[in-house]
Structure 1
């Protein structure tokens, strides 16, 4: 299966600037555009942040082909039903191009504690695991009658998504812990990285892929050239030490580029990405 290429950026750039940039990236041949989903990027540096789903809606209205979504949304700090409405709305706006990346949210102190919410990762994991089946049904537009420890839902949110059965759900996994890998195996894709080294080497990625399911949901609607075939996505950063062809051979389905380091300016990132993906 051919490797697709996406760009992932912090949700701290001015929305109008990002819309223009996304249009240019589509013209340069990229397949996807994804935003981080932080409430605050770095309080110490007093960096601006904007809502990623509002930004993606604007980008969707000005693009035709790009897959659009978050990498990743911390579901435990969201109301699953509100998140479902945002994803479904984006999916309708774009004719079936939405993707939902999910995770726990880090660092807990700035994503949760700063707002008086619990910071325990085990609690966040429990909320995420309970929320995902609820999100699944809500995104499909199916009735939900759920009585759980963290969520109580009795609703049918219409319409369902354009994509059938729903937009793909990609799950972040921080290695060497295995909980994220097991969680991702129940859904449509994995966004793995190492706690110690960041992006996985092709060898480490191949070992991980060997653990993953060789199946996925059949997403029968959406853009016919993009995501209408069964697949389980393995979404990994592009890195200098890991050429795209080696990542593809290791089992990656998406290669993601963006700021390579903290000191790289947006102008430097922009110039590099506008040269196009490494096909």
Structure 2
């Protein structure tokens, strides 16, 4: 896709950094950014919350440990992508000094979108250090809650008030829109955009007719509110 397209952004949905070697991930993403001439985005998070068999092969399954590994992994990605000499000494990752060349096209780094669990302050503070929010909302018991445009508005206000970086920041929301009905699609998307979402991700977790459904929806193009 990087070689066959010219304008679309490319990215994963999403990458659990604690399940990857950060230096290998850094090279893979930088290569895609080079091939696409600076169109790569890296959405990241903890990944699936269930064990999914990882304990059987000796990988960390505790959410707190995986969150710490995520933080360390992101620091390594940013350091390597700087193109300057970089070393790292953390609890989970260790790197002797090296210079990572060539770096990505985008500077200071490929944009990193991070899953944030609203209103958990520690999770949201992680988001503030990077370039975008993939929002979740949690109830007091830790279960997932439905998100409304009003919730997105609250998250945006928190980000505007708390984020010290001056680099661009995106809020990403996903849903389904009817590609054959532009007006209806705009009605679905507009409340989220007005609340502060900057990206709409067309969610296609289920495609009854397989790849044909996906191709048809792609050809219909994204929803527009203007």
* 2:26 alignment partner in structure 1: 84
Number of aligned residue pairs: give it.
208
How far the C-alpha of 1:71 sits from its partner, in A, is 1.9
Q: 2:49, 2:63 within 8 Å by CA — same for their partners in 1?
A: no
1:100 aligns with 2:50: no
TM-score (norm 1): 0.68
Q: 1:258, 1:269 within 8 Å by CA — same for their partners in 2?
A: no
Q: Which runs of 4+ in 1 moved over 6 A?
A: 214-218
Distance 1:131 1:121 in 2: 15
TM-score (norm 2): 0.82
* 1:139 alignment partner in structure 2: 81
* 2:62 alignment partner in structure 1: 120
Distance 1:120 1:209 in 2: 29
C-alpha change, 1:212 and 1:80, in structure 2 (3 Å) is: same
| CA deviations over 1:142-183 (Å, ceiling 9, x no partner) | 221211111111221111111111111110123453433211
How far the C-alpha of 1:213 sits from its partner, in A, is 3.7
The counterpart of 2:157, out of the listed 210, 213, 219, is 210
Distance 2:83 2:130 in 1: 18
C-alpha change, 1:68 and 1:211, in structure 2 (3 Å) is: same
Distance 1:255 1:94 in 2: 21
The counterpart of 1:236, out of the listed 161, 173, 179, is 173
1:278 aligns with 2:215: no
C-alpha change, 1:140 and 1:150, in structure 2 (3 Å) is: same
1:258 aligns with 2:195: no
Distance 1:193 1:157 in 2: 33
Distance 2:31 2:122 in 1: 30
**Which structure has the bigger radius of gyration?**
2
How far the C-alpha of 1:113 sits from its partner, in A, is 2.7
Ranges in structure 2 where 5+ consecutive residues have no aligned partner: 139-143, 178-184
| CA deviations over 1:225-261 (Å, ceiling 9, x no partner) | xxxxx4201011135697212111111110001216x
Distance 2:172 2:90 in 1: 31
Query: Tell me, what secondary structure is at the counterpart of 2:221?
Result: coil
The root-mean-square deviation of aligned C-alpha atoms, in Å, is 2.4
1:64 aligns with 2:64: no
Distance 2:145 2:157 in 1: 20
Distance 1:98 1:172 in 2: 17
How far the C-alpha of 1:194 sits from its partner, in A, is 3.0
Q: Which has the higher contact order (CA 8 A, sep 6+)?
A: 1
